[in-house]
Amino acid sequence: MNRVLSVTSECAPLVKTGGLADVAGALPAALAPTGWEMRTLLPGYPIVMKAIKPGKPVLKIADLFGGPASVHHAKAKGLDLYVLDAPHLYERDGAPYNDADGKDWPDNPERFAALGDVAARIAADGAGDWRPDLVHAHDWQAGLAPYFLHQRKIGVPSILTIHNIAFQGIAPVEYITRLGLDRADFNESGYEFWGKISTLKAGLNFATRITTVSPSYARELLTEEYGMGLDGVLRARAEDFSGILNGIDDVVWNPETDPHIASYKTPKGKRRAKAALRKEFDLPKSDGPLCVVVSRLSDQKGLDLLLEALPALVDRGGQLALLGSGDKVLESRFRAAAAAHPFISVKFGYDEGLSHRMIAGADAILVPSRFEPCGLTQLYGLRYGTVPIVAYTGGLIDTVIAATPMALRMNVATGLSFHPTTSDALARALLQAVQLFADPPTWEKLQKNGMRQPVGWEASAIEYARLYHEATAAA
Ligand code: ADP
């Protein structure tokens, strides 16, 4: 078996704030059949420490950015983990990146430099009797792993995957020495970004290969419009940069075996799930489509556009159930919309079980993102016969076959898509959804096509394996 160390700040089902966790959690099992053994290096947040039985550490560090640290090799929830136990960095209440009030931890630069540092140590000296042939780093939190590999001349190649270019790991210039970076690399082809440090940029410049989570997002990232200041870096490395589509964990997301719902096999079988969902959200019966949103509430997700477009749905008998967490202004606007219309119902917070019940019970799932690296909820929707209605951007382009007249005629459509990402275009898509829903045979075709669509990891795992071989051969 070839060996790859995945370096990530979150990993489902142990700790999750978004899609990164799902991907990191699913990759090891997906890769196993390709001949790559993946172990995952993860910070020892309290929730992770509780989930493992720490034995004798495989690595001890007397001073890791201000305190002692140790690495434990442990198995939990089917994952083969290296857990970085560093109480001064991770032992605190709150979320992985922020405190209970949503404020970023002030020592995030050290907290995640530590992750990159330890990845490089494991690559250099191994942990226990295991040493990786390759390091796969995810996002800015692991961006310094490729950098430290380069700085310490370790000779182990690396991949950096961008899950969202909006998060760039910015730290003030004073951190250069504090994080153990070389001042000589504080430049355009190193980690310097507008006079500050960017750990993501460090990763982009020093990784052997770069990927992102869909081919369309990869193309978009090369443009000024989507690159968020890093498009130039990516253009310079265009030959080493590609998009590999995310899959979903099709054991966790399987309507036939999902423990959160009354299971079903066919579009018709969804009826019970839909009735239960209406009840849970206190929505009355109606002839229109029941649409759901399961999302972070942030500008990226375009939910302000949905607020403006909603009359197109709810004035025609359609309904909306939303589960979200994040931006408080959006939250109060959705609360107000729900108070004003009986066909709109909202819940706030993070609730895995409810997200399953919603995706199972709904007729359609809405993803009106302004940009979307891959997006996972539309993939869950496809698997559950819940028709995705998506903006035409990033991974949403690559995963949903839009109901154009020709796609409908050829019976290949799996969802609806709109462009540009405006409230007017979204309203038109909602109108199209209401019309298609009123034609049950056509709607059912969309559902059946979606349920047949391959949304698991098999194809993408093969692409990662191919890239891993390429990176190790290049090193
Ligand atoms: P992002 O990573 O940008 O948030 P993705 O669509 O890639 O978007 O992944 C989001 C993941 O988080 C999905 O698994 C989705 O089901 C889940 N999720 C988002 N918000 C919630 C919530 N409020 N409750 C439960 N799950 C959520």
Q: What is the pLDDT of residues 430-450, one digit of tens each?
A: 999 999 999 999 999 999 999
The CA distance from 33 to 38, in Å, is 11
Closest to 107 measured CA to CA, from 148, 150, 64: 64
> Is 377 a pocket residue for ligand 1 (Cβ < 6 Å)?
yes
What does the block give as tokens for 357?
């019940």
> Is 351 a pocket residue for ligand 1 (Cβ < 6 Å)?
yes
- The dihedral through the CA atoms of 190, 195, 199, 201 has a sign that is negative
Q: How far is the CA of 305 from the centre of ligand 1 (A)?
A: 19
Q: How far is the CA of 186 from the centre of ligand 1 (A)?
A: 35
Confidence of residue 211 (pLDDT cuts 50, 70, 90): very high
- Whether residue 377 lies inside any domain: the answer is yes
Contact 318, 430 (CB under 8 A): yes
CA 52 vs. chain centroid, Å, equals 24
Residue 54: is its pLDDT beyond 90? no
The CA distance from 112 to 91, in Å, is 14
**26-36 average pLDDT score:** 97
The CA distance from 95 to 105, in Å, is 9
Mutate to test the pocket of ligand 1, among 213, 295, 300, 346 (most ligand atoms within 8 A of CB): 295
Atom of ligand 1 nearest to the CA of 20: 2
The CA distance from 264 to 397, in Å, is 28
> Is 26 a pocket residue for ligand 1 (Cβ < 6 Å)?
no
Same domain for 424 and 277, yes or no, is yes
Mutate to test the pocket of ligand 1, among 296, 365, 370 (most ligand atoms within 8 A of CB): 296
Over the chain, what is the mean pLDDT? 97
pTM of the model: 0.96
71-89: per-residue pLDDT in tens? Answer: 999 999 999 999 999 999 9
CA 111 vs. chain centroid, Å, equals 21
Which residues contact residue 146 at a Cβ distance below 8 angstroms, ignoring those fewer than 6 apart? 135, 137, 158, 160, 202, 203, 206, 207, 208
Number of folded domains in the chain? 2
Same domain for 185 and 230, yes or no, is yes
Same domain for 289 and 214, yes or no, is no
Same domain for 399 and 462, yes or no, is no
The CA distance from 26 to 461, in Å, is 10
Residue 475: is its pLDDT beyond 80? no
Query: What is the structure's pLDDT at 22?
Result: 94
Strand partners, 135: 5, 158
> Is 352 a pocket residue for ligand 1 (Cβ < 6 Å)?
yes
- Whether residue 81 lies inside any domain: the answer is yes
Atom of ligand 1 nearest to the CA of 246: 7
* H-state helical runs in 184-310: 199-206, 215-221, 224-227, 231-236, 271-280, 303-309
> Is 91 a pocket residue for ligand 1 (Cβ < 6 Å)?
no
Residue 474: is its pLDDT beyond 90? no
The CA distance from 336 to 333, in Å, is 5
Please give the single-letter amino acid code of residue 302.
G
Mutate to test the pocket of ligand 1, among 300, 376, 386, 399 (most ligand atoms within 8 A of CB): 376
Residue 102: is its pLDDT beyond 90? no
The CA distance from 468 to 472, in Å, is 6
- Whether residue 258 lies inside any domain: the answer is no
Contact 228, 194 (CB under 8 A): no
Please give the single-letter amino acid code of residue 196.
K
Q: How far is the CA of 350 from the centre of ligand 1 (A)?
A: 9
SS3 content of the chain, % helix, strand, coil (to 5): 45, 20, 35
Same domain for 240 and 275, yes or no, is no
Mutate to test the pocket of ligand 1, among 10, 365, 377 (most ligand atoms within 8 A of CB): 377
Pairing of strands 79-85, 387-391: unpaired
Mutate to test the pocket of ligand 1, among 11, 294, 378 (most ligand atoms within 8 A of CB): 294
Residue 16: is its pLDDT beyond 90? yes
Same domain for 26 and 51, yes or no, is yes
Closest to 380 measured CA to CA, from 450, 436, 281, 320: 450
Pairing of strands 192-193, 344-348: unpaired
**398-416 average pLDDT score:** 97
Q: How far is the CA of 18 from the centre of ligand 1 (A)?
A: 5
The CA distance from 60 to 54, in Å, is 13
> Is 246 a pocket residue for ligand 1 (Cβ < 6 Å)?
no
Query: What is the structure's pLDDT at 55?
Result: 81
Confidence of residue 243 (pLDDT cuts 50, 70, 90): very high
- Whether residue 126 lies inside any domain: the answer is yes
Q: Express as a percent the part of the chain with pLDDT over 70.
A: 100
Pairing of strands 364-367, 290-297: parallel
Q: How far is the CA of 469 from the centre of ligand 1 (A)?
A: 31
What is the extent of the structural domain holding 298? 268-451
Same domain for 243 and 142, yes or no, is yes
How many other CB atoms are there within 10 angstroms of residue 261's CB atom? 21
Atom of ligand 1 nearest to the CA of 323: 23
Same domain for 75 and 179, yes or no, is yes
- Whether residue 253 lies inside any domain: the answer is no
> Is 369 a pocket residue for ligand 1 (Cβ < 6 Å)?
no
- Whether residue 157 lies inside any domain: the answer is yes
> Is 22 a pocket residue for ligand 1 (Cβ < 6 Å)?
yes
Please give the single-letter amino acid code of residue 176.
I
Q: How far is the CA of 325 from the centre of ligand 1 (A)?
A: 9
> Is 331 a pocket residue for ligand 1 (Cβ < 6 Å)?
no
The CA distance from 216 to 475, in Å, is 27
261-280: per-residue pLDDT in tens? Answer: 999 999 999 999 999 999 99
The CATH number of whichever domain residue 339 belongs to comes to: 3.40.50.2000
Same domain for 113 and 235, yes or no, is yes
Contact 243, 217 (CB under 8 A): yes
Residue 456: is its pLDDT beyond 80? yes
Same domain for 376 and 438, yes or no, is yes
Residue 143: is its pLDDT beyond 80? yes
Q: How far is the CA of 446 from the centre of ligand 1 (A)?
A: 23
Minimum CA distance residue for ligand 1 atom 19: 295
- Whether residue 255 lies inside any domain: the answer is no
114-138: per-residue pLDDT in tens? Answer: 999 999 999 999 999 999 999 999 9
Q: How far is the CA of 293 from the centre of ligand 1 (A)?
A: 10
Question: Within a 13 Å sphere around the CA of 190, how many CA atoms are in the beta-carbon half?
Answer: 15
Q: What is the CA radius of gyration of the chain?
A: 23
> Is 299 a pocket residue for ligand 1 (Cβ < 6 Å)?
no
Query: What is the structure's pLDDT at 438?
Result: 98
Same domain for 214 and 325, yes or no, is no
Same domain for 307 and 174, yes or no, is no
Whether omega for the bond prior to residue 54 falls within 30 degrees of 0, making it cis, is no
Q: How far is the CA of 148 from the centre of ligand 1 (A)?
A: 31
Q: Express as a percent the part of the chain with pLDDT over 90.
A: 97
- Whether residue 261 lies inside any domain: the answer is no
